Amino acid sequence: MKIDILTLFPKMFDGFITESIIKRAINKKIVEINIIDFRKYSLNKHKQVDDTPYGGGAGMVLMCEPVVRAIEDLKKEDSLVILTCPQGISYKENVALKLKEYKHLIIVCGHYEGYDERIRSFVDLEISIGDYILTGGEIPAMVITDSVVRLLDGVINGESYKEDSYTDNLLDYPTYTKPFDFRGMKVPEVLLSGNHEKIKEYRLNEQLKNTKKRRPDLLEKKND
């Protein structure tokens, strides 16, 4: 997979692509991640990419020309162009599972007061990571990239993400490691039993209890 991220602040991604699982996925050539400053697509001699909004109002608006020129330069037949936007669809695990099937993602990071509305005509999908406003789309771009890359074959153990929270609309079951007894809080005996069927049953029951306690709305969706 190839992921191109269009941003005004490339250095924000320095740690993101040079650490941990993302770095390993890049080194194993499972994914190619390019961080692109779309200022270079500006035709303005000062590389300006924003201006005041028509009709007045606070803040600056990203101009359509540099963003669209960047998209058109990078886009291929198999590309999906994503706009990080508070007005987009709510990002969920099932969206990440769909995105991982694409060979090429282009993620446009917003900033300032917003985008020139005409940019939307060149975008395939708008995504919001939550009902709140951030200073820019860089963090949402990292969230999308991280959640998709971990699903790619060879990045992590497939069994790990198949039992994650939100799979089948259930939260994950609790996990434990050594020591067995920590200040009187002991690991459930069933996990030491070696009986895989009982362990599987226990974990499913814990998923249901966990979801009912913390996110009962997910159970309602599961039963729809």
pLDDT at 212: 93
Do 173 and 128 have their domain in common? no
CA distances from residue 204 to 92, 170, 194, 211, 214 in whole angstroms, order as listed? 21, 9, 16, 11, 15
Do 90 and 186 have their domain in common? no
Look at residues 94, 127, 126 and name the one whose alpha carbon lies nearest to residue 221. 94
pLDDT at 112: 76
| Containing structural domain, residue 103 | 2-149
Do 133 and 25 have their domain in common? yes
User: Where in the sequence numbering do the catalytic residues fall?
Assistant: 86, 113, 150, 164
pLDDT at 159: 61
pTM of the complete model: 0.86
CATH number at residue 144: 3.40.1280.10
Looking at the 3D structure of the chain, how many domains does it have?
Answer: 2
CATH number at residue 203: 1.10.1270.20
Coil, helix or strand at residue 69:
helix
Do 115 and 37 have their domain in common? yes
| Residue 158 maps to a domain | no
Tens digits of pLDDT across the chain (224 residues): 999 999 999 999 999 999 999 999 999 999 999 999 999 999 988 999 999 999 988 889 999 999 999 999 999 999 999 999 989 999 999 999 999 999 999 999 988 778 999 999 999 999 999 999 899 999 999 999 999 999 999 999 766 555 555 567 888 899 999 999 999 999 999 999 999 999 999 999 999 999 999 999 888 876 66
Do 187 and 140 have their domain in common? no
